[in-house]
Amino acid sequence: MMKKRILVFVLIAVMMVSASSMSFAEVNYDKFELFLNYIEKYYYQDVSEEEMMDQVYKAMFNSLDNHSDYFTKEEYSVFSEDNDGSFGGIGVSITTEKGYVKVMQMFEGSPAISSGMQVDDYIIKVNGESIFEVPLDVAASKIRGEIGTDVNLTIVRNGKEIEITITRDLIVIKNVEYKMIDGDIAYLKIARFAENIDVEVQDAIKMFIDNKAKGIIVDLRNNPGGLVSVVVKIADLFLPQGDPILQIDYKAYNDEFFESKIDGLTQPMVVLVNKSSASASEIFASAMQDNDRAVIIGETTYGKGTVQTVIPLSDKTGFKMTIAEYLSAKSNKIDGIGVVPDIELIQKNIIQTDFAPLNQKRDIYLGEVSLNVYGVQQRLNALGETLLADGIFGKKTLAAINNFEKNQSLKLNTRLTVATAKALDDYINNSSERDIVLDKALELLK
């Protein structure tokens, strides 16, 4: 009886997924029935029919791409939950990496920051429950919750598990921020292409025009995307009429092509992106790049160029499936590739720690051991070196010092000079406040 019920259920589910696009009539269901028969008769433990079939369905969708998922009853309930009242979160943006949930960004003043969480932490459990290979939407819903309640997170940082308890709070994210900087440069930051933000962007443009802006910076760093309809409206405000914006290729529907309908702003323009700029952000950046409208600065973007639809099923489960692909204005592929910046520049956020003080009074030579060498090693490691911080001035430490001197256009030395140690200390102290990507944008527009 179990195998008949399951087989009928599977056949129905398969037809619902894509009856028109795959020749399921040619699939050998005898093999599937054989497996079910053997499991029912010979497997040494009792098997939960529902749990086993959930895994079958998950395998079906996981075989498609990283953005297609099957939701169990519990997962779909969490995913689609329509809560009344005020609910909050911990104030982070997350993504998935090889099945793990990774922290991409922490919002200013958020509970996550005060708890000691860091960017690039991996969240592996929520309240003791593993979220490995759980759909990202569901994982996010589990982390969110009622304001004032606690959530216990198990994170992995540098290979070590850490338990963090965070009290959820109301997280207010400004989707659009704008101002004039450096006198006559317009700065527009879009955190997400959410519904109706094109109205806010129009307000920003009016302010830019009133202030006679000579250049424009659009900051899309850490922007995870949003609505296609919204990003098309916003791109329209920066392009000449008739310029292509993007195309969407469907299998089951007619392809869509979008182009600018008005003459937008014409001031010189720079767009800032990083590896967490995804989806709609990549549509905007690629449209500006393909039409030679703006210089793109930063890191190669995330590479999410597909469209998903969510379908609820009658048994209270559901699935999310990719149904189309975005292509850039010039028909370039985005998915899995991203938008490559015209100028690659990575903002390195130095984690502030209690470094050993640098009180160097004289030059230090190879072979010497001192607290100053230890402090220099700490600071060099914060810049990306992998030195053993032991206070011993060896050849590897000298090579790292020479790398710093070269990058800062300082004279290369065979010793640790007082001048280099001071320059390193000053660089570290100023790095947390200096946005080198924004500085480069301002340099280009001046």
pLDDT one-digit tens code per residue, 292-330: 999 999 999 999 999 888 899 999 999 999 999 999 999
Query: Per the residue annotation, which of 260, 279, 286, 328 is the catalytic one?
Result: 279
Tell which CATH architecture fits domain 83-167: Roll (2.30)
Does the structural domain 355-446 have CATH classification 1.10.101.10? yes
Cβ proximity of 138 and 71 under 8 Å? yes
Name residue, tokens 């793990």.
100
- As annotated, the residues of the chain forming the CATH 2.30.42.10 domain(s) are 83-167
Give yes or no: 260 in active site.
no
pLDDT at 85 over 70: no
In 3D space, the residue among 324, 209, 231 whose CA is nearest the CA of residue 285 turns out to be 231
pLDDT at 407 over 80: yes
Longest dimension (CA), the chain: 85
Alpha carbon of residue 111 to chain centroid: 19
The span from the CA of 248 to the CA of 361, in Å, is: 64
Give yes or no: 290 in active site.
yes
Query: Which pLDDT band, with edges at 50, 70 and 90, does 349 fall under?
Result: low
Amino acid at the residue 286: S
Name residue, tokens 């920003």.
204
pLDDT at 17 over 70: no
Residues sharing a CB contact under 8 Å with residue 178, sequence separation 6 or more, in sequence order: 186, 187, 188, 189, 203, 204, 207, 208
Cβ proximity of 258 and 205 under 8 Å? no
- As annotated, the residues of the chain forming the CATH 3.90.226.10 domain(s) are 176-344
Q: What is the total residue count of the chain?
A: 446
pLDDT at 19 over 60: no
pLDDT one-digit tens code per residue, 158-167: 888 999 999 9
The span from the CA of 441 to the CA of 271, in Å, is: 8
pLDDT one-digit tens code per residue, 169-197: 988 778 899 999 999 999 999 998 988 99
- As annotated, the residues of the chain forming the CATH 1.10.101.10 domain(s) are 355-446
The span from the CA of 255 to the CA of 370, in Å, is: 67
Query: Per the residue annotation, which of 102, 233, 304, 320 is the catalytic one?
Result: 304
In 3D space, the residue among 127, 89, 123, 139 whose CA is nearest the CA of residue 109 turns out to be 89
Give yes or no: 304 in active site.
yes
* pLDDT (average), residues 408-421: 93
Looking at CATH, the fold of the domain delimited by 176-344 is given as 2-enoyl-CoA Hydratase; Chain A, domain 1 (3.90.226)
Query: Which pLDDT band, with edges at 50, 70 and 90, does 217 fall under?
Result: very high
pLDDT one-digit tens code per residue, 251-305: 989 999 999 999 999 999 999 999 889 999 999 999 999 999 999 999 999 999 9
Query: Per the residue annotation, which of 290, 320, 328, 335 is the catalytic one?
Result: 290
